[in-house]
Amino acid sequence: MLQPVDYLSPDVPGQLPWHDVPLIVATDDSVKGYGCLVSDPDDFEIEIVQWPAQGWRPVDAGTGDEGGFVEGIFHSEWRGEVLHGNNDAVNGKYILGWSNNPEAASAGSSVGLPPRVLLWHLNYHPDGGQMFYPLGHEPFVVPVAMPGDDLKLENIVALWCDGSQGLYIHPGIWHEGVFPATPAQSFRDRQGRVHARVSCNVAQEFGVFLNVALAPATPARGA
């Protein structure tokens, strides 16, 4: 039987090689396939996926997708060299990553913005999409990859958003929280109420940490 992922005590080695993740400026064109940019979070509807049929008889129209969504604040904060996340919408608390190998990462007071997040985990939600909208309108980063359980390192990118808009990701898109390009930020989060989550411990499966830059001088344009 699968055990719950312990997000506050990640099961990872203290040190691993780093895999550089391409950073892409989020535009209407570059986010296509992953989701879309969000200008008005009040008037934005997320996708809810209908419950799958168990046999040849289809699920009745208008049923199986009535769970709706939940909404709350997603807080992301650097504490020393450790990036913490707190998703009030689903009562989740996480260590999202580090700016140094975990064995060397300090957990003391933050001093400025670290240059990177070393990411250990990705997940996707088969039941619904997810919206992140920055309450302070500051830049942020979301790592993403297209759907499919055969995740490949070369297919992972990171979307750099300038903070003027939010980001919506479709159901099934690999991602991992939201990374502030500032010492701390809060985001309006909206996602499916069922909150099914499929996980990949990247550190265990691929033997690397994903190196996601937060503030490069010139992010690459286009996907």
- The answer to whether residue 12 is domain-embedded is no
User: What's the rounded mean pLDDT across residues 156-177?
Assistant: 97
User: What's the rounded mean pLDDT across residues 10-18?
Assistant: 96
CA 83/CA 113 separation, integer angstroms? 11
- The answer to whether residue 208 is domain-embedded is yes
Looking up residue 131, the CATH number of its domain turns out to be: 2.60.120.480
Q: State pLDDT tens for residues 174-186.
A: 999 999 999 999 9
CA 179/CA 172 separation, integer angstroms? 19
Q: State pLDDT tens for residues 36-87.
A: 999 999 999 999 999 999 999 999 999 999 999 999 999 999 999 999 999 9
**pLDDT band (50, 70, 90) for residue 223:** very low
User: What's the rounded mean pLDDT across residues 191-217?
Assistant: 93
- The answer to whether residue 11 is domain-embedded is no
- The answer to whether residue 188 is domain-embedded is yes
User: What's the rounded mean pLDDT across residues 88-105?
Assistant: 95
- The answer to whether residue 1 is domain-embedded is no
CA 32/CA 50 separation, integer angstroms? 22
Share of residues in the chain with pLDDT > 90 (%): 90
106 or 98, which is more confident: 98
- The answer to whether residue 184 is domain-embedded is yes
**Helix extents (H) in 137-223:** 202-206
Question: Is the per-residue pLDDT at 218 higher than 50?
Answer: yes
**Structurally, how many domains does the chain consist of?**
1
189 HSE (CA, 13 A, CB side):
24
Share of residues in the chain with pLDDT > 70 (%): 95
Q: Residue 109 has what pLDDT?
A: 65
Other C-beta atoms lying within 10 Å of the C-beta of residue 25? 16
Domain that holds residue 108: 18-47+64-213
Kindly state the tokens that stand for 47: 């996708």
With a threshold of 0.85, does the pTM exceed it?
Answer: yes
- The answer to whether residue 8 is domain-embedded is no
Q: Which residues contact 35 (CB under 8 A, 6 or more apart)?
A: 129, 144, 167, 168, 169, 170, 173
Q: Which residues contact 62 (CB under 8 A, 6 or more apart)?
A: none
Question: Is the per-residue pLDDT at 171 higher than 80?
Answer: yes
Q: Residue 3 has what pLDDT?
A: 80
Other C-beta atoms lying within 10 Å of the C-beta of residue 200? 18
User: What's the rounded mean pLDDT across residues 128-146?
Assistant: 98
- The answer to whether residue 218 is domain-embedded is no
181-198 burial code (b ≥16 CB/10 A, e <16):
bbebbbbbbbbbebbeee
- Map tokens 């200008």 to a residue: 39
Q: Using CA atoms in the order 55, 56, 59, 60, what is the torsion angle rounded to 10 degrees? A: -140
